[in-house]
Structure 1
């Protein structure tokens, strides 16, 4: 009961922090506000939490599915027809993934002083859970590995929209009041949304899709949209709730990690993410010239954040979230396949 009450209190405080972040004009306010709040609680006030408390992982999965449905609903026949011309950007993304991994390994190994296994698995520019699982098998330092992987996502989610906001000179995306979600969605649609989210989640598990809790619902919503069987409309209030839950879950990941370790990891994460964003900008400019895609869309497509979080940024910035998500799924596939193929060799040599 204490754990349930704690979760409810955290969500209530996170909702208030989201409203505060929106009033301050921050991008992605309903995710960044809760993330900052719960991160402070997890690191500065862990004794206030019940013994053994963890934010319910199932709750986060439910609302990741909501985001997946919303993204999938944006998939159209016109978008699918454009896929063949994206082969060049997929090839560039493959090169980016390999180069970024090598760069990050150098940062964590040479500057951070991490052992080889920790540096290698902390350096992956995608495949969060796969990197953590394989790193544990390889004997990596799990506190540092998890810290760097989550900081990668958090720094990208925070820095990228702020940078674009400064560059454009005006509020962008959600902080500018823009959304792809629908405000006037009847309550009678909610059971269908829940059913589609559950079916999509099962689809992702059965097919073993990467980030299946997101991509399964995304795929199902895309099928419904392209076929015209039942295009889904996701209400704005549900999108806001999803961001609050996701931000709260990310912040609580820092429970039990010392502030000194977080500060050191943050410095390394800023170096790592800074280098990767520069590399992403390089590829984005090349593809902007080569295939005519907008620079900011390509930058978001290459930026090394988690699928869910980067899809939210794409949504916030009014880029095509389905197009961006296709690129991030490819990045994760390349990372996970590479880790799977090298796992045995790495266990012998790291």
Structure 2
């Protein structure tokens, strides 16, 4: 076991070094979110070139927990008065998920050539690990499911910041957008925020919440900030560190997959991501028309990217991080809870229809 761990250290260090180089390079050319997109793009390219890299998975959990704490810090006592305004957009998340699934499923079946199970769980807008595990349990191709979701996240995280960079005057390559410096947070606040991770992770696991490492600390941190026990901002150095690790891990998800399969799934995922983004834009415009919500904020809240990644974009844009993070958390929970149940119902319906067809 120790030999395997030691053998992985070199490829992990190489991936992190490449990711750091990508971050500095992306920052030099003013790419939006350089500390996440730079490592992500460089490590994806190295994976395609079969360079022996490996995602730094052992250090990912604490980074995810730190990010959850930072997302929770976006909540404040003042937002309690605005929470009722979220009711409509949260209620429409179910319609959004259903619409995406209804459009993505036939796309993956007819264009991608996926089998029924794989197409269903690949078309769900969220829950990469959960959809892979449940899809595999029902007989789907778990490798293709996770590769499709990884491609969706890759494309969404790449395209959405670039879109905002081109359509707004916000410089997302400016690290000062991510709050205060690390020496501006008091030791008391650090102790309070660290406690959020220590308490949040086991509580989320006990409650069987999806993405427990992220959602647990986020919920406890949100509670702490809503109660006014801490008002500390996320230090930008820690945000950059989290982006670096997350971007490197995303790029390394393609390691070990045949180049032809990666290009094939990426090609298919371009169409699927375009469908999801179109549905996202439709709901953003609809909510703007119904209740006057800002289109940019709703796009980030409904975007088919990861909770962590889209929340980082929200931080960069200076939009309502609590709004964005809460919607993504609800979306993930909704997908994880509803997708397996709906698949079982549709499977029974298909079996009944097949029996009727055979009788005829």
Displacement, 1:125? Answer: 0.6
Displacement, 1:244? Answer: 0.6
Which whole-Å deviations, capped at 9, do the CAs of 1:10-54 have from their partners, x for residues lacking one? 2122112101111111111111111112222223124x35xxxx5
Q: Distance in 1 between matches of 2:247 and 2:186?
A: 25
Unaligned runs of 5+ residues in structure 1 are none
2:176 matched to 1:182? no
Specify which of 27, 52, 55 is matched with residue 32 of structure 2: 27
- Give the structure-2-normalised TM-score: 0.89
CA contact (8 A) 1:31 1:243 kept: yes
Displacement, 1:180? Answer: 3.6
| Distance change >3 Å, CA 103–CA 178, structure 1 → 2 | farther
2:105 corresponds in structure 1 to 105
Q: Distance in 1 between matches of 2:345 and 2:56?
A: 35
1:192-231 equivalences in 2 (<5 Å): 193-231=193-231
| Distance change >3 Å, CA 281–CA 199, structure 1 → 2 | same
1:65-104 equivalences in 2 (<5 Å): 65-104=65-104
Which whole-Å deviations, capped at 9, do the CAs of 1:69-106 have from their partners, x for residues lacking one? 11111101222332222221122221111010111111
1:140-289 equivalences in 2 (<5 Å): 140-168=140-168, 170-173=169-172, 175-183=173-181, 184-185=183-184, 188=187, 190=190, 193-289=193-289
Displacement, 1:8? Answer: 2.5
CA contact (8 A) 2:209 2:215 kept: yes
CA contact (8 A) 1:127 1:336 kept: yes
Q: Distance in 2 between matches of 1:136 and 1:42?
A: 24
* 3-state SS of paired residue (2:209): coil
Unaligned runs of 5+ residues in structure 2 are 1-5, 352-360
Which whole-Å deviations, capped at 9, do the CAs of 1:246-297 have from their partners, x for residues lacking one? 1111111111111211112112111111111111111111211222221100
Displacement, 1:108? Answer: 0.7
2:119 matched to 1:114? no
CA contact (8 A) 1:100 1:276 kept: yes
- Give the structure-1-normalised TM-score: 0.91
Displacement, 1:241? Answer: 0.7
- Aligned residue pair count: 343
| Distance change >3 Å, CA 107–CA 71, structure 1 → 2 | same
CA contact (8 A) 1:73 1:221 kept: yes
2:307 matched to 1:307? yes
Which whole-Å deviations, capped at 9, do the CAs of 1:228-258 have from their partners, x for residues lacking one? 2233443211111111111111111111111
Select the structure with the greater relative contact order (CA < 8 A; seq sep ≥ 6).
1
Which whole-Å deviations, capped at 9, do the CAs of 1:92-138 have from their partners, x for residues lacking one? 22111101011111111011111111111110011221110111112
2:16 corresponds in structure 1 to 11
RMSD: 2.1
| Distance change >3 Å, CA 74–CA 286, structure 1 → 2 | same
Q: Distance in 2 between matches of 1:233 and 1:84?
A: 24
The structure that has the greater radius of gyration is: 2
